[in-house]
Amino acid sequence: MTNVAIIGTGHSKFGSRTDVNLQELAWEAVKQALEEANVEQKDIQYFSVGNVGTWSAEPLPAVVIGEYCNLTPSGTMRVEAACASGSAALREAYLAVKSGEADIAMAIGVEQMHQSPNPTVVEMIGRAGNYFWEFENFGLTFPGYYALYATAYMNRYGLKEEDLGKIAVKAHHYGAMNPYAHFQKEITMEEYLKSRPVAWPLKLLDSSPITDGAAAVVLASEEVANKYTDSPVWIEAQGVGSGTANLSRRTDFTTIEAARMAAEQVYRRAKINMDSPWKEIDVADVHDCFTIAEIIAYEDLRFARRGEGLTLAREEQTYIGGRIPVNVDGGLKAKGHPIGATGVSMAVSLARQLLYRAPNKGMQAEIRNGRALAHNVGGTGHYAYVTLFSTRRPGL
Amino acid sequence: MISDVRDAKQKEIAEVLKQLDMLTKMTGLPVYPEPKTGNPLWSDVRELDLRYQIPVKRISKFFDELKKGKVLATRCNKCGTVYFPPQDDCPKCRTSNLEWKEVQGEGELLTYTVISVKPPSFAHYPDYVVGIARFGDVSVTAWVEGPREKLRVGSKVRLDVSKREPEGYITYRLILL
Ligand SMILES: [Zn+2]
């Protein structure tokens, strides 16, 4: 087993990318990652592709992208973990290198949701969960599932509309500075409060958009990484978990059990104090597919105690300069959420944060511990991946 | 009826396809500029109609009883676990042929939402409320109906079996008490 480092990152512009097709979109990120890492395609011994698809035409995206990016004939697979597919792809490539199977591997995340009309996409995402017992008869949508969390959370902890609004305003504040973001504009609380309901209590401005985008990272073993770069970003630890398909089989709608589990695995492996992990982490990207999800993430990651995530939002403790900066790249909400790309996009954002390479000074967190945390949830707590990135070589 | 719902949808699709035919006749290709950006898009000429055929043999008793107005869960008589949605295998005990048990009485609404932006296959319904209610050992996800002023977390509900219109098939819902 070896340590694994990110030695190159690539990120496409996120948005409605109808100017390119799926493989062209992937290439934008792959090319950038290859150039940054200074490796050739032939050096990539394995590549994984996070892509959920169904809204886009290619049913075998990994080989279509492999062919287009000249990564063939290296081994590959398409990886699906719903909205955490990107982190699953990262995990696949990470394990390939960690195990010693590959010295250099690439994780690619790509999604092109605009190949289908928006209503079709709403239908497809709504079907994620348990198809027969939740969708077929009751027509749940993705905002609908998270609204079930929001209602329960509001009822138990007194969360207010404005608290969710704080999350949306923050996301757009940082998104406005991110040249890769889908929405590069600020929003006001007034605009937030006036936005139309999607699935009560959630509104349009609580929701991440339907986005196209790609991201890629080149991973290398410790020995190889040291040859290519003097500023590797290590994957220090990763935790994973899953939750029941049927939401009705969960007992608590104010927390995502799978994410708590994944976070605890990471903290244990990295010997991070579970009572105050934020003191040892400089910046985090959390899965804010809907604003409520970010507040729950604060608690699941132990940045706040149960029921106190909303206080972090109210006190603006997750802006740069607060307790812990969260989603300073705009998050899924403003940067966009190209399902299969999101997890890899988090890795790219955070690796660049740790190296003081945020695309805009206003979105650069202060790096003191050299550690960043990614929290990527698939479905509504169906899959959870928490990944800790570090500039310090693990084991030191 | 199920076919009526489909016909309405097909009419919308036919309108769009007429335009596509006109364009293809004119230019020789099904390529059109996206209204917002002008980006040329190839409109797929192959259509995939997805309608799954889902096996329900192992839980057919659920549907037999649903026709009689009852909602059933299954129960493992070895470990006592109650399953809803019903399943005929207890993976904990690795046993099959579980007992059937009616989900009845008063339930408590755990959470709910009102779906305003609907999937196309649900677009023909008015906005609907989906909730999860606890009935003793199990929770049930379903539409919540009844007076809106009673709609809140903790409200009492009961299960009701009735026909879903306009499709006209039997399903269950939660009724606010
Ligand atoms: Zn059993």
Nearest-by-CA chain B residue for A197: B116
The answer to whether the Cβ–Cβ distance between A140 and B115 falls below 8 Å is yes
User: Cβ contacts (< 8 Å) between A197 and chain B: which residues?
Assistant: 114, 116
pLDDT number for residue B9: 86
Task: Look at residue A66 and tell me if it is in a domain.
Answer: yes
Tally C-beta pairs within 8 A across A and B: 107
User: Which residue type does A393 have?
Assistant: R
Inter-residue contact A171 to A326 (CB < 8 Å): no
pLDDT number for residue A316: 97
**Range of lowest pLDDT (A18-32, A117-131, A199-213):** A117-131
Q: What are phi and psi of A377, to 5 degrees?
A: -110, 135
The residue that leads in pLDDT, B48 or A358, is A358
pTM for this entry: 0.97
Q: What is the pLDDT averaged over residues B114-126? A: 96
pLDDT tens, residue by residue, B26-75: 999 999 999 999 999 999 999 888 899 999 999 999 999 999 999 999 99
- How many residues can be counted in chain A? 396
Fill in the DSSP letter of residue B140.
E
ipTM, interface predicted TM-score of the complex:
0.95
How far, in whole angstroms, is CA B119 from its chain's centroid? 11
DSSP helix/strand/coil, A63? helix
Residue A294 has pLDDT above 80, yes or no: yes
Residue A15 domain boundaries: 4-117+210-228
Q: How many CA atoms lie within 13 A of A391 on its CB side?
A: 18
Residues 6+ apart with CB under 8 A from A152: A252, A253, A254, B110, B111, B153
Mean pLDDT computed over every residue of chain A: 97
CA distance B112 to B131: 4
pLDDT tens, residue by residue, A85-116: 999 999 999 999 999 999 999 999 999 999 99
How far, in whole angstroms, is CA B12 from its chain's centroid? 22
Q: Residues B96-100: contacts with CB within 8 Å, 24+ apart?
A: B98/B74, B99/B74, B99/B75, B100/B61, B100/B62, B100/B65, B100/B72, B100/B73, B100/B74, B100/B75
Please give, rounded to a whole number of angstroms, the shortest distance from the CA of B152 to a CA of chain A.
9
Task: Look at residue A15 and tell me if it is in a domain.
Answer: yes
pLDDT tens, residue by residue, A138-151: 999 999 999 999 99
Task: Look at residue A73 and tell me if it is in a domain.
Answer: yes
Tokens of A317: 């403790």
The Cα diameter of chain B in Å comes to 70
Chain B touched by A137 (CB under 8 Å)? yes
A146 exposed, middle or buried (CB, 10 Å; 0-12, 13-18, 19+)?
A: buried
Nearest to A11 by CA among B164, A25, A23: A25
pLDDT number for residue A396: 66
In A146-205, the residues whose Cβ lies within 8 Å of chain B are 147-152, 155, 196-202
Residues 6+ apart with CB under 8 A from A234: A3, A4, A5, A6, A389, A390, A391, A392, A393, A394
Question: What are the Cα distances from residue A250, in Å, to A239, B137, B141?
Answer: 20, 12, 11
Domains defined along chain B, listed by start = 19-48 (no CATH), 54-102 (no CATH), 106-177 (2.40.50)
Q: What is the pLDDT averaged over residues A205-224? A: 98
Count structural domains, chain A: 1
Q: What are phi and psi of A216, to 5 degrees?
A: -150, 150
Q: Which residues pair with B85 in a beta bridge?
A: none
CA distance A48 to A105: 8
> From its phi and psi, is residue A395 left (phi > 0), alpha (psi between -120 and 50) or beta?
left
Q: What is the pLDDT averaged over residues A166-177? A: 98
A242 exposed, middle or buried (CB, 10 Å; 0-12, 13-18, 19+)?
A: middle
Q: What is the pLDDT averaged over residues A45-54? A: 97
pLDDT number for residue B49: 86
How far, in whole angstroms, is CA A376 from its chain's centroid? 5
CA distance A236 to A8: 16
CA distance A298 to A305: 8
Task: Look at residue A303 and tell me if it is in a domain.
Answer: no
Which pLDDT band holds residue B167 (cuts at 50, 70, 90)? Answer: very high
The Cα diameter of chain A in Å comes to 57
Tracing tokens 């410790």 back to the chain, one arrives at: A222
Task: Look at residue A254 and tell me if it is in a domain.
Answer: no
Q: What is the CATH number of the domain that holds A77?
A: 3.40.47.10
Q: Which residues pair with B75 in a beta bridge?
A: B82, B99
Q: What is the pLDDT averaged over residues A285-295? A: 98
Task: Look at residue A309 and tell me if it is in a domain.
Answer: no
Inter-residue contact A175 to A334 (CB < 8 Å): yes
Q: What are phi and psi of B159, to 5 degrees?
A: -85, 145
Could you tell me whether strands B99-102 and B107-115 are parallel, antiparallel, or unpaired per DSSP bridges?
unpaired
The answer to whether the Cβ–Cβ distance between B85 and A141 falls below 8 Å is no
Nearest-by-CA chain A residue for B51: A136
DSSP helix/strand/coil, B133? strand
pLDDT number for residue A395: 84
Write the residue in B132, B153, B154 that is nearest to A247 by C-beta: B132
Inter-residue contact A9 to A33 (CB < 8 Å): yes
